[in-house]
């Protein structure tokens, strides 16, 4: 009987799709109750229904993580409907592919959107749930990337790399500040994971996928399920003395 997260209540943002959906399902299978949060009400409901269908407990919540006031409202709603959370996964994120030399208006919009969702979004949601997490001596898991360390040789917005470096910095700062409250804060650094985020790249640019694969000792793209184990590790007591770090799940990308 899986039980690593029994009696935990977890909130996962961007849980209607890809990695967030897989983490929500994986946490539920370990006994957690889930607040399934996404900007898309329909996909959030679908993930929550899948969890219910497997005998788990979940509620769907619609939230744009860039809206700080809405984040506070949803945090209150989650506490009222499910209970105070002990685990937060800041997963909602977007990627864009314009080079810095592309059309200035497009690049500026990419910058604003990516920072607002990937970095400020994680801040907004964390701040909204902070008192719940402190009360529970909880755990925060942020979604970083190989781009928390390096830029990549396939088209990728500079803003994405900056945002994911920021996510790692945010992880370290929170771990340092919240350790005295018993709150642990870590990140996961996925490599190239096959999700809707990169569906266009996979469908139309095999040459970009090859660049990734040539740089990945395990020689394959990851799946959303490849991120579930690291997420359970960081959210559970298995990682009781782990904080302020990033667990890479990148097929070895950063070793070559
Ligand atoms: P995904 O399948 O596109 O899922 C992201 C989810 O976040 C979607 O449901 C999306 O909704 C939602 N979302 C977007 N903007 C939002 C907002 N403002 N507020 C709330 N939810 C929002 O992408 P993924 O690949 O699973 O990515 C999940 C995380 O992993 C991201 O932080 C990403 O940067 C990171 N990551 C992914 C990879 C990879 O190779 N896939 C690698 C490294 C890191 P919509 O679909 O409606 O926009």
Among the atoms of ligand 1, which is closest to the Cα of residue 167?
A: 32
What are 1-28's pLDDT values in tens digits?
Answer: 679 999 999 999 999 999 999 999 999 9
**Whether residue 208 lies in the annotated active site:** no
The residue whose CB lies within 8 Å of the most ligand 1 atoms, and thus the one to mutate among 69, 75, 94, is: 94
Contact in structure between 19 and 95 (CB atoms under 8 Å): no
Query: What fold is seen in the domain 9-250?
Result: Rossmann fold (3.40.50)
Here the tokens at position 82 are 């499910």
Among the atoms of ligand 1, which is closest to the Cα of residue 160?
A: 34
For atom 6 of ligand 1, which residue has the closest CA?
A: 14
Here the tokens at position 94 are 């977007």
**Res 2: pLDDT:** 74
**Res 1: pLDDT:** 63
Q: What do you get for the CA distance between the two ends of the chain, in Å?
A: 39
Is the entire prediction scored with pTM above 0.95?
yes
Sign of CA dihedral 1, 184, 166, 189: negative
Residue 132 to residue 164: CA distance in whole angstroms = 25
Residues 6+ apart with CB under 8 A from 217: 251, 252, 255, 256
**Res 34: pLDDT:** 98
For atom 10 of ligand 1, which residue has the closest CA?
A: 14
CA 93 to chain centre: 7
Residues in the chain with pLDDT values less than 70? 1
Pairing of strands 87-90, 33-38: unpaired
The residue whose CB lies within 8 Å of the most ligand 1 atoms, and thus the one to mutate among 11, 13, 14, is: 14
CA of 21 to the centre of ligand 1 (A): 10
What ranges do the domains of the chain cover? 9-250
Contact in structure between 189 and 246 (CB atoms under 8 Å): yes
């Amino acid at each position: 009987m899986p039980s690593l997260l029994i009696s935990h209540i977890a909130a996962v943002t961007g849980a209607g799709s890809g990695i967030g959906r897989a983490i929500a399902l994986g946490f539920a299978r370990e006994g957690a109750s889930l607040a399934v949060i996404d900007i898309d009400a329909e996909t959030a409901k679908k993930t929550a229904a899948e969890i219910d269908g497997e005998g788990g407990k979940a509620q769907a919540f619609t939230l744009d993580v860039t809206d700080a006031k809405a984040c506070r409202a949803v945090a209150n709603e989650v506490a009222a409907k499910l209970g105070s959370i002990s685990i937060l996964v800041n997963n909602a994120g977007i990627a864009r592919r314009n080079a810095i030399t592309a059309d200035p208006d497009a690049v500026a919009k990419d910058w604003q959107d990516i920072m607002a969702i990937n970095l400020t979004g994680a801040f907004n949601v964390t701040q909204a749930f902070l008192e719940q997490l402190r009360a529970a001596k909880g755990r925060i898991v942020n979604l970083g990337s190989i781009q928390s360390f390096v830029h990549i040789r396939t088209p990728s917005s500079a803003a994405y790399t900056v945002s994911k470096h920021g996510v790692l910095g945010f992880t370290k700062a929170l771990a340092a500040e919240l350790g005295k409250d018993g709150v642990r804060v870590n990140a996961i650094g996925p490599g190239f994971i096959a999700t809707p985020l990169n569906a266009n790249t996979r469908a139309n640019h095999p040459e970009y996928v090859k660049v990734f694969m040539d740089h990945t000792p395990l020689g394959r793209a990851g799946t959303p399920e490849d991120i579930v184990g690291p997420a359970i590790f960081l959210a559970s007591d298995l990682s009781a003395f782990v904080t302020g770090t990033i667990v890479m799940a990148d097929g070895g990308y950063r070793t070559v």
